[in-house]
Amino acid sequence: MTSPHDAVEVIITKRDGGTLTTSQIDWVVDAYTRGTVADEQMSALAMAILLNGMDRREIADWTGAMISSGERMDFSALSRPTADKHSTGGVGDKITLPLAPLVAACGVAVPQLSGRGLGHTGGTLDKLESIPGWRASLSAEEILAQLETVGAVICAAGDGLAPADRKLYALRDVTGTVEAIPLIASSIMSKKIAEGTGALVLDVKVGSGAFMKSVDRARELAQVMVALGTDAGVRTVALLTDMDTPLGLTAGNAIEVAESIEVLAGGGPADVVELTVALAREMLAAAGRDDVDPADRLADGSAMDVWRSMVKAQGGDPDAALPTARETHVVGAPTAGVLTRLDAMAVGLAAWRLGAGRERKEAPVQAAAGVTWHARPGDVVRAGEPLFTLHTDTPERFGRALAALEGGYDVSAPDTAYSPRPLVIDRVG
């Protein structure tokens, strides 16, 4: 049978700034998934897309073709509406852990299909796997049952959801095309639309520790993703949130779980609580349940009850002690004054080098590795007092982690005025 297109024709069209037809897009995504189009050909096309972009129809077609490469989930049989959240990735970003049970405690089911960390950004599944017994892989039947009985599930996406994206993501990672907004947007949205959630809130990170360094680029990505979700019938909104400074006081795996539990218990760092509640309100409004205030569910303990049930349902022990690192190293403040900058990228790299992250997708992570910081920008520090504590099971990693932190923070004169950037910068949708 003669193919309706060929890869070179598609590549040349986009290389020369042309617009790909729906037929071309459907063909090339399907052919690449089946192995008919070679990696080097898709690499060339991805680079052409990075350089020349795509219009809204092309991006929608590309997303639809990736969805069509696999199966779709269906939550219509549930007794409550569904809402999900996706973060574009940051440092100390443990928000999913308290957020999913919080929204479930307000009457909305949360099918949170999450991923693992790569590079300096942490992965939700890596964090949860530090809980003894907890498992990330669930069948579709288990997901549906847990959503009905518990109200929330955080698990790995099955192999059947958007397999074209899984193959293309790995290629983009090694060909310098990760930053292409059409490919970022279609990668995220193909999985979220195939997942079948009724409403979606996007947390688009902006700043040094995020993939989007500028507000304009982040807003462009948010607008594209909101349009894709809306066109697919998913109620979608996006918040642009600050990632110049890492979230909370920890970056790692087990230490971020511990901080999330503090939030569910009614405490925790103010910025983590603020963003958790802000995203919860958006999810509830999108799901038609804005009559409930999530702050009340944190205060009355019902969100913690859902957390415990969720962990137990996936084989974990919510009462078990979390892993602790065999070795720690304390970094003191170099001088007295006001901490005026704490760079998210520097902290993320340090945590990664301590063993909290991975350099290859198949590499293991250390559950107890990471960085704790004892002050946030705007806080007064005293010379020699602990500023950071580094955690790892392999102390030979301390040197490279310390190198990552060099130049990653500023302590200014005691009378220095500090004006933070708002945590929530903008809203799209």
Rounded percentage of the chain residues whose pLDDT exceeds 70: 98
> Does 363 score more than 80 pLDDT?
no
Query: Cα separation of 360 and 383, whole Å?
Result: 39
Residue for token digits 């193919």?
Answer: 3
The per-residue b/e assignment along 382-403, b for 16 or more CB within 10 angstroms, e otherwise, is: eeeeebbbbbbbeeebbeebbe
Position 38 scores a pLDDT of 95
Residue pair 378/412 in contact (Cβ under 8 Å)? The answer is no
pTM for this predicted structure: 0.93
Which segments of 69-209 does DSSP mark as H helices, in order? Answer: 96-105, 124-128, 140-149, 163-173, 181-195
Q: Per residue in 228-271, pLDDT tens?
A: 999 999 999 999 999 999 999 999 999 999 999 999 999 999 99
Position 122 scores a pLDDT of 75
Mean pLDDT of 138-153: 96
CATH number of this structure's domain 327-412, picked from the four choices 3.30.720.210, 3.90.1170.30, 3.30.413.10, 3.30.70.260: 3.90.1170.30
Distance of CA 56 to the CA centre of its chain: 24
Q: Please, which pLDDT band fits residue 328 given cuts at 50, 70 and 90?
A: very high
Helix (H) or strand (E) holding 77: none
Mean pLDDT of 370-375: 98
Query: Cα separation of 411 and 423, whole Å?
Result: 21
What tokens appear for 320 in the block? 């078990």
Q: Per residue in 103-145, pLDDT tens?
A: 999 999 999 998 877 667 778 999 999 999 999 999 999 999 9
Position 118 scores a pLDDT of 63
Position 361 scores a pLDDT of 63
Domains of the chain, residue spans: 7-53, 83-313, 327-412
What tokens appear for 92 in the block? 């100390």
Position 367 scores a pLDDT of 96
Q: What residues have CB less than 8 Å from 322, skipping those under 6 apart?
A: 130, 131, 254, 255, 257, 258, 367, 368
CATH number of 83-313: 3.40.1030.10
Q: What is the mean pLDDT of the chain?
A: 94
> Does 359 score more than 80 pLDDT?
no
Mean pLDDT of 171-199: 91
Catalytic (active-site) positions: 86, 165, 172, 187, 191
Q: Is domain 7-53 in CATH 3.40.50.12780, yes or no? A: no
Q: What share of the chain is helix, strand, coil (3-state, %, to 5)?
A: 45, 15, 40
